[in-house]
Amino acid sequence: MKFKSRLKYLLFFLFVVTINNLLFSRDTLQQKIAATLIDTAKVDLLNQAAEQYKTVDENRALEFAKKALSISLNKKYYKGVANAYYQIADTYKTYGKTSLALEYFNKSIRYFKVINDYNSLIKVYNKIGVIYFNKYDYKKAVIYYTKAFKLAETTNDYQAHAGILNNIGNIYYTQGKYTEAIDFYSRSLKIREQQNDTNGIAGSLHNLASIFYAQGMMKDAEKMYLKSIALREKIGNEKGIALSYSHLGSLHLHLKNFEKALEYQHKAVDIYTQIHDKNGLANAYSNIGNIYRELRENKKAIAYFDKALELYNEVEDVIGKSNLFISKGNLLISENKIAEAVKELEKGKLLSEQFEISENKSKTYLALAEAYEKINDYKRAFHYNKLYNALKDSLNNSMLIEKLTDIQKRYEDDAQLKQIEVLQKEKENQELKIKQNANRITILIISLIALTTITLIVIISNRHKQKTNQLLSAQNEDILKQKNEKEVLLKEIHHRVKNNLQVINSLLRLQAAMIDDPKVVALFEDCQNRVRSMALIHDKLYSIKDLSSIQVKEYIENLIDSLINSYGLKNKIELKLTIEPLTFSVDTLIPLGLLLNEIISNSLKYAFNKEMKSGLIEVSLKALENNKYELLVSDNGQGFSKDVFNEPQNSLGIELIKAFVDQLDGTIEKLDLPGTSYRIVFQNIGK
């Protein structure tokens, strides 16, 4: 018992000593500075003190760094000069004074080059790149990131290497180029995992979560944000934790989980306040304002927006301000204060166009379209909807196209009604003139009446025909122009859908790479093949002239070749195709392609065992009567029982085959032939 009691006292003593060291470490450092007589050692201690005070007290940090600079310049201690300039610059950067930060970073570069301190140069170039990134000058950001990248390669500084790849990924993410962003984030994550860089891994996971969020994959995004927070908590990265909390709050706002959204944003506010991060605090206030806007508590929303704007002006955050103007504009639209809303939205539009912030331009155009639609200004509403549609990279929201078409139709109808009114008035005026002329002519001689009447009728008829022909010609040109524009728009839609499917395919491949279970990996590969099948159709639609019908033969050949290549059986499988020159609509071709994808995939996975040196797959497609078609698919593999196919069971592949046949209003029959053979009769449902 005495031993346990002594142990408790010992542990308590150690605890008190540790706390005391933490509380008085800065004071101890100052005492060391005062006691040190050697100038170079004093300079190094002063720079250390500046580093410690950097996030706590701007003035003290600058005081220590400038003392170090004065001594170093006097003694020509160039390492001290370089580090002092760096500490001054980094302090200014911490408090949002970017112009001064750039001035002193450039001074530090000259001295780091003199002493050949390449690791410090990498750090400076990277920080300058971040400053230009935050100023939305992406060209200069890339220039400095590239300088840092080249030095990191020569010095084998893998941690810096990974950080720069991540920063370049941030540029692509900000511009909405998610495929390129995923590539750079993944390369960065791979290096960080190899180096066991916990903080770096957490940052990469956070960035990838943001892409999942942008693509609407909310559950995957939430999991990654939480993983990032867990890693950052282990190493005490408070700023990173606050950032992930803020993003989680935005995610739950999107899901309408307002209570949880507020909880996460207030957690972020507490941390940002504690670490004096004005930029992060402004973002959190702005997000809280958006939550209250959704809850229709507009007074609270405006109060938080005003707090955020004050901080954004201090730190010169253009993206933050443009987001804020858009949020205020949407709030004013909900209150039917359209004139005030348009003023706020125009501010957001000006900033987002000036600094090429693609996502904010998209949000502004959509909000302006909604504002003008509310006051029945369909011409401007259509204009901004068209700008929004042209800019937006992802076509996940099908309602947008419907809304655009609806506004376009309403605008055209409105114009046509005005045109009809003008023609009607012209007709009434012409009829009035004819009556007046007829009354005058009755007074004249009968011969002159007949001659004048015939002459007038001929002249009026010819003029009317000319006007009518000109009007019809102009309308025909307008209709043809609209038709061409709509065809271009539809092709662009199919092209962007294909691009989005490729992004989804990349995300699936990325997710599969993080999984060790071969069965789960196989399921992901099946999903990728299905996505690839649909992407192939939209790729065809983008390249053909007639969107109403697609040549089936070339599509089926490309689809099956792609599947065989994906399973690595190019040299083992012989393919025999007998396909008539048919054309189908996209409504038929999508389920048909997915049906073939499932049948051929099942054959490639299960029909041919390891002992078989080669195999044969046959596909036949021909037209029957009454808009019906016959599809025969067979292989010479080991096959399976017809009863297994007909009875209810747990095979997802067979259930999908039956589901796709139902979509085609068709029937399927498993034939009693060697191997596996199917006969499917279906309709061209798009006719």
Query: CB within 8 A of 268, min separation 6: which ones?
Result: 242, 243, 245, 246, 249, 280, 284, 287
If you average pLDDT over each of 136-150, 341-355, 474-488, which comes out highest? 136-150
Q: Around Cβ 224, how many Cβ atoms within 10 Å? A: 23
What does the pLDDT look like over 643-684, one tens digit per residue?
Answer: 767 776 557 778 888 888 998 899 999 888 888 999 999 998
Instruction: Give the mean model confidence (pLDDT) for residues 287-310.
Output: 91
Note the pLDDT of residue 403: 36
Note the pLDDT of residue 238: 93
CA dist 655 → 454, 587, 631 (Å): 79, 20, 18
Q: Which residue has the higher pLDDT, 435 or 595?
A: 595
- Poorest-pLDDT segment among 255-264, 265-274, 606-615: 606-615
What does the pLDDT look like over 215-259, one tens digit per residue?
Answer: 888 888 898 899 999 999 998 999 999 999 999 999 999 899 999
Three-state SS sequence of 481-547: HHHHHHHHHHHHHHHHHHHHHHHHHHHHHHHHHCCCCHHHHHHHHHHHHHHHHHHHHHHHHHHCCCC
Q: Say how far apart CA 565 and CA 575 lie, in whole Å.
A: 12
Residue 448 has pLDDT above 70, yes or no: no
Note the pLDDT of residue 446: 74
Q: How many residues does the chain have?
A: 687
Residue 85 has pLDDT above 80, yes or no: yes
Query: CB within 8 A of 651, min separation 6: which ones?
Result: none
Residue 320 has pLDDT above 90, yes or no: no
- Poorest-pLDDT segment among 128-142, 319-333, 394-408: 394-408
Note the pLDDT of residue 329: 86
What does the pLDDT look like over 501-518, one tens digit per residue?
Answer: 767 877 777 777 778 787
Note the pLDDT of residue 225: 92
Please report the sign of the dihedral spanned by the C-alpha atoms of residue 283, residue 285, residue 289, residue 291: positive
Q: Around Cβ 4, how many Cβ atoms within 10 Å? A: 7
Do the strands 573-579 and 615-623 form a parallel or antiparallel pair, or are they unpaired? parallel
What does the pLDDT look like over 514-535, one tens digit per residue?
Answer: 787 877 777 777 787 777 767 7
Q: Which residue has the higher pLDDT, 318 or 109?
A: 109
Confidence of residue 402 (pLDDT cuts 50, 70, 90): very low
Confidence of residue 577 (pLDDT cuts 50, 70, 90): very high
Instruction: Give the mean model confidence (pLDDT) for residues 56-75.
Output: 90
Q: Which residue has the higher pLDDT, 687 or 447?
A: 447
Residue 138 has pLDDT above 80, yes or no: yes
- Beta bridge partner(s), residue 668: 680
Tell me the pTM: 0.47
Confidence of residue 561 (pLDDT cuts 50, 70, 90): confident
Q: Say how far apart CA 202 and CA 441 lie, in whole Å.
A: 95
DSSP 377: -
DSSP 672: S
Q: Which residue has the higher pLDDT, 476 or 181?
A: 181
Query: CB within 8 A of 344, min separation 6: which ones?
Result: 325, 326, 328, 329, 332
Q: Determine the angle formed by the axes of helices 218-235 and 198-214, rounding to 10 degrees.
A: 160
Note the pLDDT of residue 528: 76
What does the pLDDT look like over 158-167, one tens digit per residue?
Answer: 888 888 888 8
Token pair for 631: 């599809």
Residue 37 has pLDDT above 80, yes or no: no
Residues 269 and 285: beta-carbon distance below 8 Å = yes
Q: Determine the angle formed by the axes of helices 378-391 and 398-441, rounding to 10 degrees.
A: 150
What does the pLDDT look like over 542-555, one tens digit per residue?
Answer: 555 555 567 788 88
CA dist 583 → 266, 490, 553 (Å): 58, 19, 9
What does the pLDDT look like over 196-216, one tens digit per residue?
Answer: 889 889 988 898 888 888 888
Token pair for 142: 């890339």
Residue 18 has pLDDT above 80, yes or no: no
Instruction: Report the share of the chain in percent with pLDDT over 70.
Output: 79
Note the pLDDT of residue 29: 56
